[in-house]
Homo-oligomer: A and B are copies of this chain.
């Protein structure tokens, strides 16, 4: 799940901050000249990634379109060495 040779500078990783933090990051990325911005999240942050994409598209960068949405599963190893699976999402916005 990488951004096809575009480097990692246009990738926004969504975590536990309020959705508007990530919206701001996406808007800033578009304003700096990127035509594609990738929003990535895992686990419970997936809902927030969708929020960030939707708020960006509906309110701030209204000419942005959804280019691609991918979902996947990643294996995570915890401190005790156990692995568990977590779902992931990758939303590519383009304008």
Contacts and interface: CB of A to CB of B under 8 A. Distances in A.
Interface of A: 43-47, 50-51, 53-54, 58, 66, 69-73, 85, 87-89, 91
B53 A47 contact: no
Given A46-B46, A47-B43, A54 B72 contact: yes
B58 A73 contact: yes
Contact of A46 (B50, B72, B73, B85): B50
B71 A91 contact: yes
A93 B44 CA distance: 21
Nearest to A45: B47
Contact of A44 (B44, B71, B89): B44
B91 A47 contact: no
Contacts of A43: 47
Contacts of A88: 50
Residue of A51, A53, A85, A91 with highest tally of chain B CB at under 10 A: A51
